[in-house]
Chain A
Amino acid sequence: MIDESKMIALLFEQRQKEKAFEQVLMHYQKPVYYYIRKFLVDHDDTDDVCQQVFIKAWKGLGNFKGESKIGTWLYRIAYNESMTFIEKKKRIAGVALDKVESELPGVLMSDDLFTGDEIQAKLQSAVAALPDKQRAVFIMKYFEDRRYEDIAEITGTSVGALKASFHHAVHKIELFMKNNTTW
């Protein structure tokens, strides 16, 4: 466990910030990776976005005021980068807005690095098929057990909107699990 306030102080010190950043990287690399992986499913995509997150964090250190936790700041970058990545993918592929989401379950099932059992695969497929924002909220609320207030800070959305998105996500996942189909 890192000492948050001490780490923030070190990040602002010119002579210490490289070492401090390395510690931040070591501490948050895995959680940020898995956070993005649940979004993007594919390892290579996740790898690229995860590296971008830390590179942007390093470059944006000057903008980090230390008002939020380091983790919240990194997750906010990860959320934005993931959303940007998905949007880019949609534009480059020239596909309909919901096409990428509908393809994710297929990506998941053909992923050699996914080793979940049948019920886990079904749940992950259901999550992967959700619209971007609903998927983001569901991942953060259900899998990561975050408070709505924290999710609001990460996504820049109101708590009310998040609750509505989570409600929709749960409902769609229930339908998916019952029918084992996309919507």
Chain B
Amino acid sequence: MKDFRHNEEEIFKTPEDYFNRSAAEIMAATVGENLDLSASTSGIRKQIQPGAKVIRINARVWIAATAAVTVGLVFFLAGREETQTTQGGLALNELNDEVLHEVILEANDELFAEYLGAQLDSISFVTEPEESVQQQNTRNEGKDVSFDHVTDEELIRYLTEEDFDHDLDF
């Protein structure tokens, strides 16, 4: 059987002497070593000049310029994302198989408790039309509508069996 795992250098070629040149450029950009970069052609290489001081000055100018653009871009993207989420209710592109499986596999007790908490919260938020005390007494007469007798365990079992499994049935 053919093994594809250990031939990366054979199939992904690099320009001649790439690693030596790249290492020199990285060292120049980090520890500021003054290395010969005459062969430099692209990427961060364009920003790097021989000599640490020059590099640092360039870096500051570069950072200041890009920071302004980045801040603007962040606000723009944040606004756009919020609009999309508001319109769609949920970012549909997040609902792929992978995410869903991650949700299931990472659904530990804490997440489960959080889910149940949300369910319980939603129950408490169910609003009924207001009725007078007299109407309530009439309606409740002879009936036990209190949930006091329902234990937490029963409620959790109910939610687990009736809702949770169905909602997350993949």
Interface 1/0 per residue, B78-112 and A, CB below 8 Å:
00000000000000010011100110011000000
Find out whether the CB atom of A113 lies under 8 angstroms from the CB atom of B98: no
Cβ-defined contact, B23 with A48, below 8 A: no
Main secondary structure of the interface of A (DSSP, over half): helix
Q: From residue B11, how far is it (CB to closest CB) to chain A in Å?
A: 4
Hey, which bits of chain A sit against chain B, CB under 8 A?
18, 21-22, 25-26, 29-30, 33-34, 37-38, 43-44, 47-48, 50-52, 54-55, 58-59, 91, 97, 113-116, 119-120, 123-124, 131, 133-134, 142-145, 157-158, 160-161, 163-165, 168
- Chain B contact residues, majority secondary structure: helix
Q: Cβ of B12 and Cβ of A29 under 8 Å apart?
A: no
Provide the bound-state CA to CA distance between A26 and B19, in Å.
9
**B10 lies within 8 A of chain A by Cβ:** yes
**Min CB–CB distance B111 → chain A (angstroms):** 11
The answer to whether B23 touches A25, judged by C-beta atoms less than 8 angstroms apart, is yes
Contact call B29/A124, Cβ cutoff below 8 A:
no
Q: Indicate if B26 sits at the interface (CB-CB under 8 A).
A: yes
- Are B101 and A114 interface neighbours, CB within 8 A? no
A29 CB contacts on chain B under 8 angstroms: 19, 22-23, 26
**Contact yes or no, A164 B12, CB < 8 A:** no
Minimum C-beta distance from A12 to chain B (A): 15
Residues 5-33 of chain B: 1 if any A CB is under 8 Å from the residue's CB, otherwise 0?
A: 10111111111001100110111011101
28 pairs, CB–CB < 8 Å, chain A vs chain B: A18-B33, A25-B26, A34-B9, A34-B12, A37-B8, A38-B8, A43-B13, A43-B15, A47-B42, A47-B43, A48-B44, A50-B22, A51-B25, A51-B26, A51-B43, A52-B44, A55-B26, A58-B30, A115-B10, A115-B11, A119-B2, A131-B96, A142-B5, A158-B106, A161-B101, A164-B98, A168-B97, A168-B98
Bound Cα distance A124, B7 (Å): 12
In contact, A48 and B43 (Cβ under 8 angstroms): yes
B14 near A113: Cβ-Cβ < 8 Å: yes
Known: A161-B105, A164-B105, A168-B97. Contact between A25 and B27, CB under 8 A?
Answer: yes
Is there contact, CB below 8 Å, between A33 and B102?
A: no
Chain B residues, CB < 8 A from A124? 11
Q: Map CB proximity to A onto B56-72 as digits: 1 under 8 Å, 0 otherwise.
A: 00000000000000000
Are A54 and B26 also in contact (CB < 8 A) when A160-B105, A165-B98 are?
yes
